[in-house]
Amino acid sequence: MKSEPSTFSIDDLARKSSQQENWDGVRNYQVRNMMKNEMRIGDKAFFYHSSCEKPGIVGTVTIQAVGLVDPTAFDPKNPYFDPKSDRQNPRWYMCRVQLTEIFNCLISLADLRNTDKLKNMQILRPGNRLSITPITAQEWQIIHQLTC
């Protein structure tokens, strides 16, 4: 799960007293469908910092809730406001994540690219623009072996 650390970093998540946060503001249909239909409570995800000086994986989260209506779409003052979504017929959904691990060191994008067994990961494909992408159990294990 990608987030721009200037908007919401893993440290921001750690500062929450509950160490939980709604993953709101997603305005992409494929990603919405993942949060609405494919994610399951208890699923684990890597937290990835994107569009920053050192892009890469900084820790892991556990999914606490799935398929929640995203209320930011209803608020005209919210940057993620979408007039085409209304409470009777919501267009956008979110999930809720809980902080699980913060890695001692970053697993950089270069580290991921340099790992042969990860070369088919969706996030490494050219033009990948989805803020959430599925990974396999094997990829989960291999990435954990890159931690220090």
Partner DNA sequence: GCCAACGTTGGC
Residues that bind DNA (CB under 7 A): 2, 4, 28-30, 50-52, 55, 109-110, 113, 125-131
- Decide whether 16 or 113 has the Cβ nearer to DNA: 113
What's the min distance (Å) between Cβ of 30 and DNA?
6
What's the min distance (Å) between Cβ of 18 and DNA?
25
Q: Measured between alpha carbons, how far is 48 from 45 in angstroms, rounded to an integer?
A: 9
Q: Measured between alpha carbons, how far is 132 from 121 in angstroms, rounded to an integer?
A: 12
139 closest CA partner among 62, 32, 55, 123: 123
- Decide whether 53 or 77 has the Cβ nearer to DNA: 53
Rg of the chain over Cα atoms, rounded to whole angstroms, equals 16
What's the min distance (Å) between Cβ of 143 and DNA?
15
Tokens linked to 130: 């989805």
